[in-house]
């Protein structure tokens, strides 16, 4: 039975994600041996023996866009093999990994590492460091008298809890409106 299994080839399950200069593919094979990764300009070939039964894995991927094979690398760990593919054209988005639109049952998007880098810019207000600056620049007169709230001067614990709650709701509303504004652009 072991001999028969070692002759069979099956694609390794893989996850991928896109970044500005690189595309990452992680082949999920535990205890891999004889790992072979071949980077070509428009194709990636991966093979290895995996698991305690030395099951043969083979993946051939016709890539969505070209890569730089000389600047692409891979790293093996006990649980997986991570491939870092240098894009041929930096800054070009890959909506999928493969050239063909076919759904491959062994391939999925790695949403834990996915980042919408296309929307990143210096003017992006999503940067948390700029949040306080934005709040300070929101305008309004500092001399405006705010209406008094019943019990606002009470020193009771309930009053403090209510004001924290109101403060959190206000911040949430401001953040919600910022996101709405960003989405409508």
Decide if pLDDT at 126 tops 50. no
118 CB-near residues (< 8 Å, 6+ apart): 93
Q: Give 46-61 pLDDT, tens digit per residue.
A: 999 998 888 999 999 9
**Total of domains in the chain:** 1
pTM over 0.85: no
When mean pLDDT is compared across 11-25, 88-102, 130-144, the lowest value belongs to 130-144
131 CB-near residues (< 8 Å, 6+ apart): 125
- What is the Cα–Cα distance from 101 to 108, expressed in whole angstroms? 13
pLDDT band at 149 (very low <50, low <70, confident <90, very high): very low
Query: Is 145 inside any structural domain?
Result: no
CATH of the domain at 6: 2.60.40.790
Cα angle 81, 85, 89 (rounded to 5 degrees) comes to 170
Query: Is 142 inside any structural domain?
Result: no
Domain that holds residue 55: 2-119
């Amino acid at each position: 039975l072991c001999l028969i299994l070692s002759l069979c080839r099956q694609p390794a399950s893989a996850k991928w994600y896109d970044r500005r200069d690189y595309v990452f593919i992680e082949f999920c094979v535990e205890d891999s041996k004889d790992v072979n990764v071949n980077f070509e300009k428009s194709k990636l070939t991966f093979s290895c023996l995996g698991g305690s039964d030395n099951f043969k894995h083979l993946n051939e991927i016709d890539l969505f866009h070209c890569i730089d094979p000389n600047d692409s690398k891979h790293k093996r760990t006990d649980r997986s093999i991570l491939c870092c593919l240098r894009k041929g054209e930096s800054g070009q988005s890959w909506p999928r990994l493969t050239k063909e639109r076919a759904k491959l049952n062994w391939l999925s998007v790695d949403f834990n590492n996915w980042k919408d880098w296309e929307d990143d810019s210096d003017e992006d207000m999503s940067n948390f460091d700029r949040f306080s600056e934005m709040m300070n620049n929101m305008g309004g007169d500092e001399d405006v008298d705010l209406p008094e709230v019943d019990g606002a001067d009470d020193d009771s614990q309930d009053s403090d809890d209510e004001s924290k709650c109101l403060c959190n709701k206000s911040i949430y509303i401001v953040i919600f409106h910022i996101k709405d504004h960003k989405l409508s652009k």
